[in-house]
Structures are given as structure tokens and as C-alpha cells.
Amino acid sequence: MKEGFFKKLLDNASDLIWAVDMEGRFIYINDNIKEWGYDKEELIGQPLLSILNAQRIGKRETRRSIMGIHQTYEMEIVDKKGTAHKVVVKSSPLEEEGTIVGVMGIIRDITELERLERKLKDEERLASLGRLATGIAHEIRNPLSSVKMNLSILKKRLSPKGVDVEHFEIAQEEVFHLEKIVSELLDYAKPITLDLKICDLTQLIDVAIAAVAAPCAEKGVTIRTEYDGRGHMALLDKTKITQALINILLNSVQASLENSEIFVGAETVKFPSSDRARVVIRDQGYGIPEDNLKYIFDPFFTTRKDGTGLGLSIVRNIVDNHEGSITIESEQGKGATVSIELPAP
């Protein structure tokens, strides 16, 4: 076969294929390097470490490769934009007429693969919790209804006075609280049926903001929006996404300091495969401790005394069913930022 065929084969490989000389400088790199923000021409003759995180690859590994040892190891690469990628590196000595003249290797980006694996594990774990929650909710609902009814009958029949009235009211309030938990459990666990339509996401944001006007007024919280002066279309279920946005905004208001601001932005982000409509909600509240971030979408996880810990679980369920994504970034004492991405038409 012609040399051009093999060059095309290497350049079109989905992995990064490279070779360096004995000084660790690039003598070959395929076209995949463009995905890391570089041009081939600017790297030829440059040190390999110019694109690798030097703290992760050490000189010891490089020397072992040059000495003729095949290696496979994981490391982190920082691309030209400063984004870190988890990769698997396979390297081997580059020989010419029996003499080692450098090192060649393959770098495979496994960042997305690891993210999908984590997402799958999370979904399996949350599905198990959902099934458990549904069973518990059904078992509680009937006796809870009986307790509620009998409390009402006893209150009318006994006509309590003084402190006894207060005890009855406390009992009834707790029953109402339990009913709310049971309803939210069933909402979380039941299958979601979507009525998908192409909608202007900014209109749904405005509806959600109007819905949280009262709690905002109580704390003196203002909401500032930024839509780039245009609509941002997405394929979604209007009712479900509005519910998700209200849940997030309520969380932000509850976590906000008095007289602070919540920023809500919308944009359309272009990706190679498809466009995504993105909503960003950023508050100036207490923030989330780092140890709590990994549990934030778990059912029943809450730091509020009166919370059920199901609000964000329901939000994630809605977003996942839209084939979207949701992320939360936060630092304790510095507020939180929630980003939702949904398929754009």
C-alpha cells in the first residue's frame, strides 16, 4: 500500500498517536492533536511535556520507556485551553535497525468514559433507592391516612382546651409533614412521561422566577437575568422543566443571604455533535461543603431541618429523562452554581 494510505490511517485515528526522539521532542503526532487545541506544526520539535501535566508524568517513566520498557499507565493531560483530561498512555521504545531512537505511544482520552461509568453507577444506585422509597411510601400511606382521620375525629369529639389543643395541632402538623414526604417519594419514584415540544427556555425561566417571588421578597433576594437578548430553544416538556427550575430556584433562595442576588443566565452552546441549551443559576449563599457535593442529588440527603432531601433528586430525574445533564459547583461560604444543559433542536 502507498505511504499516503498509512498516513491517512494514522491521522484519522480516534486516539492521539505520537513519537518523540531521545531528547523527548516530538518527531511525529497525528491530526487528533487538534482536539486538544494544538496544531501539529507548532509541536514538532517541542518537548512532549509541553502538552502533558509534568506533575503527573515524571522523568522516571520517560527514562524507562527510552531504555526499552513497554508501559501502560494513567495520567492527566492539560490541553491548550487548560482543561484537564484523564487518559491512558501506552508507550514503547521506537527502534531503528536494532537501536532505540526514541519513544512512540498512544494516548486515549477516557474522561468521558469515566463520567459515563460514574453516571451509570449513580443511576443504578438511585434506581434501587427509588424502588425502596416507593415500597416504604405505599406501606406508610394507608396507616397515615388512618391516623389523620382519627386525630380529626378525636379533636371534634373531645373538644380539647388549653394545652391539649396545642398537642392536637402539633400531631396534625406532623401528619401533614409526613404526607408531604410520602407524596414527594411517590413523585420521585414514578416513571416520567414527557410531552416534548420545542420551547423557548427563557420563557420557562421567567415563569419559574415568578413562582418564587414570595420567598424572594421575604429575604430581600433579587433575581438578575441575562439572556443575550434572544431566545434559546430546547426540546423539552414545559411542565417538568418548569418544575425543575422552580425547585432549583427555591433551593437557591433558601441558601441565599438576606438582600443578596441570584443570577440566572441562558445560552445556546455549540458542540461538534449537537447544540445544547444551557441554564446557569448562581447564588451568593452559604455554599455547599465539599464533602456534601457528592451526595447532593441523593434522595433524603438534606441539611435543612424541614427538608425532605428529594427536591434535587426529582430535578436530576427530570433532566436525565430529557437526555440532559446537571452539575453543581460550590465552595462553602461562596455560593453555588447550578448548570443545566438540554438538547437543542
Q: How confident is the model over 327-336, as pLDDT tens digits?
A: 999 988 889 9
Nearest-angstrom CA–CA distance, 176 and 137:
14
What would the pLDDT profile of 86-145 be if each residue is shown by its tens digit?
888 888 888 888 888 888 889 888 888 887 787 777 777 667 766 777 777 777 888 888
Question: Contact 325/319 with Cβ under 8 angstroms?
Answer: yes
The CA R_g of the chain, rounded to the nearest whole Å, is: 28
Question: Which has more pLDDT, 249 or 31?
Answer: 249
Fill in the DSSP letter of residue 191. Answer: P
Asked if pLDDT for residue 64 goes beyond 70, the answer is: no
Say which amino acid occupies 211: A
Please report the pLDDT score of residue 63 as a whole number: 43
**Residue 244: pLDDT above 80?**
yes
Portions of the chain given CATH number 3.30.450.20 = 3-109
Cα 46 to Cα 16, 20, 68, 79, 270, distances in angstroms: 16, 9, 22, 15, 32
- What is the per-residue DSSP string for 245-276? HHHHHHHHHHHSPTT-EEEEEEEEEE-SS-EE
Structure-block grid coordinates of residue 97: 535497525
The percentage of residues in the chain with a pLDDT greater than 90, rounded to a whole number, is 20
Helices 238-255, 311-321: axis angle to 10 degrees equals: 150
Question: CA torsion angle for 206, 292, 258, 307 (degrees, to 10)?
Answer: 70
How much is the average pLDDT of 37-50?
A: 81
CA distance to 23, 24, 62, 75, 80, per residue, from 52 (Å): 15, 12, 12, 9, 10
From its phi and psi, is residue 64 left (phi > 0), alpha (psi between -120 and 50) or beta?
alpha
Contacts of residue 192, defined as CB under 8 A and 6 or more positions apart, other chains included, come to: 240, 317, 318, 321
Pick the CATH number of 197-343 from 3.30.300.20, 3.10.580.10, 1.10.1240.10, 3.30.565.10: 3.30.565.10
Domain 3-109 matching CATH 3.40.50.2300: the answer reads: no
Look up residue 57 and give its DSSP letter.
S
For 78, the enclosing helix (H) or strand (E) is strand 71-78
Cα gap 206→68, rounded to integer Å: 63
Residues of the chain with CATH 1.10.287: 114-189
CA distance 264 to 208: 11
Looking at the domain 114-189, which fold is it? Helix Hairpins (1.10.287)
- As annotated, the residues of the chain forming the CATH 3.30.565.10 domain(s) are 197-343
Cα(176)–Cα(149) distance, integer angstroms: 12
Span 28-35, average pLDDT: 86
Contacts (Cβ under 8 Å, ≥6 apart) of 56:
75, 76
Give pLDDT tens digits for 125-139. Answer: 667 766 777 777 777
For residue range 260-287, list pLDDT tens digits in order: 999 999 988 877 667 888 999 999 988 8
